[in-house]
Structure 1
Amino acid sequence: MSTTQSDRLRELLEPLAAAKGLDLEEIETSRAGKRRMLRIIVDSDEGVELDTCAELSREISDLLDETDVMGEDEYVLEVGSPGADRPLTEHRHYVRATGRLVKFLSNEGGELTARILGVDEEGLDLEVPGLKGRKPTQRRIAFSEIAKARVEIEFNRKSDKKEEEA
């Protein structure tokens, strides 16, 4: 049974990430001139600190040096956390985005921007902002209705200011 390089990397690196309480979200290999790039994306419910990424990067580098999974060619290793605009694709991504404003694209092509209030196994409870001074409304959306979802960046979220003052 043949496995891809990505599968072998995931099998090798997942235990390192898990030992630090992290989820191995993505492994990406690409070419950058003569060198190859190996980009590892990790995340957790609490986020990922820079020091943790640096420690994990050293551990991954040491482990890769001991194996032949990357072959003989030079490569550049990059370990980081997902960006704020990463698509939500896994159940845990939606759980981590609870309280955040998210833009949804439905399977039918419609768009909706709403705040995630709660997540269960079937879908999401949302708060849809009111337009032109109207009150927000609540809505339920099933995972099966979602084609794409991405967190919206909020620079002036009112509830954050209230929490800071309290």
Structure 2
Amino acid sequence: MAARSGQKQAPLPRRNPQPAAVDTGSVEALFAPLVAEAGLFLEQVRVHGPAALRTLSVIVDLPEDRTGSLGLDEVAELARRLSDALDEDPDVVPGPVNLEVSSPGAERKLTEPRHWRRSRGRLVTVVTTSGATLLGRLTEADETEATIVPRHEGPKGTKPKDGEPVWVLYDTVTSARVQVEFTSPGDEHETDEHDTDQYDTDQHDTVEDEEA
């Protein structure tokens, strides 16, 4: 209904402008040198969530020449440095954002040659284009293929047996993933370092830092 002459209309509520879209390429360019200085590898930068409460997810990993997993202190220190970088260059991520820094996790997917090389010594499950599923120990990996020692499960209560090594071309892989292992101290395949790696990665090493 139109307002009568001389009658004031109530002002319409003002809408808060939506923050501008985030260019993940610019974020990667800002973060990459800092991640490299920390001796780590920048795996992925992703923005998700509603515009008013966005999350900037940063996944980092150890370089190929390091074994084990990221420690929580290492991730926390990097998160602080990345947060400071956003404060110094606020135009890279306009508006409020929740910064989340994490490692790939215990059951990471193997989608690049680097992932395969980083997972040497781990138990993996591979599904090939022929529909076959292979469970085994990843022993070697290069740019085009990986060597896996198949694990054959025996009767309940007995140790699994290893088969002959097989070579798997990445082009023939539909999906591949690292498997979580719960081993006993007497398992001949496991070392203390491997057990520690599994324990650490199960924590997912996540640090969150609010940006104003």
Q: So what's the TM-score if we normalise by structure 1?
A: 0.86
Indicate the residue corresponding to 1:70 in structure 2: 93
Question: Secondary structure in 1 aligned to 2:165?
Answer: strand
Partner of 1:146: 173
Q: Distance in 1 between matches of 2:60 and 2:38?
A: 10
Query: Which structure shows the bigger proportion of residues in strand conformation?
Result: 1
Match of 1:37 in 2: 55
Structure 1 spans left out of the alignment, 5+ residues: none
How far apart in 2 are the matches of 1:159 and 1:40?
36
Identity %: 34
Secondary structure at 2:45 match in 1: strand
The answer for the alignment partner of 2:83 in structure 1 is 61
Aligned-pair distance for 1:36?
Answer: 0.7
The answer on whether the counterparts of 1:99 and 1:117 sit within 8 Å (CA) in structure 2 is yes
The answer on whether the counterparts of 2:149 and 2:166 sit within 8 Å (CA) in structure 1 is: yes
What count of residue pairs does the alignment treat as equivalent? 159
Structure having the larger proportion of residues in helix: 1
- Cα shift at 1:131: 4.2
SS of 2:177 mapped into structure 1: strand
Aligned amino acid, residue 27 of structure 1? V
* Cα displacement (A) at 1:130: 2.7
Choose from 19, 22, 31 the match for 2:40.
22
Preserved CA contact (<8 Å) 1:130 1:137: no
The verdict on how the C-alpha distance between 1:74 and 1:134 changes in structure 2, with shifts beyond 3 A counting, is closer
Instruction: Map 1:1-166; keep pairs closer than 5 Å.
Output: 5-31=23-49, 34-44=52-62, 45-46=66-67, 47-67=69-89, 68-71=91-94, 73-132=95-154, 135-156=162-183, 158-159=187-188, 163=191
Alpha-carbon deviation of 1:33?
A: 7.6
Distance 2:124 2:162 in 1: 18
Amino acid at match of 1:83: G
Superposed structure 1 runs of 4+ greater than 2 Å apart = 107-110, 130-135
- Name the aligned partner's letter for residue 171 of structure 2: S
Which stretch has the larger CA shift, 98-107 or 24-33?
Answer: 24-33
Structure 1 letter corresponding to 2:39: G
CA contact (8 A) 1:48 1:81 kept: yes
Cα root mean square deviation, aligned: 2.0
What's the CA shift string for 1:109-139, capped at 9, x where partnerless? Answer: 3221111111123211110113437652211
Amino acid at match of 2:149: E
When the two structures are superposed, what TM-score results if normalisation uses the length of structure 2? Answer: 0.69
Aligned partner letter, 1:159: E
Gaps of 5+ in 2: 1-21, 155-159, 193-212
Q: Which has the larger radius of gyration?
A: 2
CA–CA distance in 2 between the matches of 1:98 and 1:6? 30
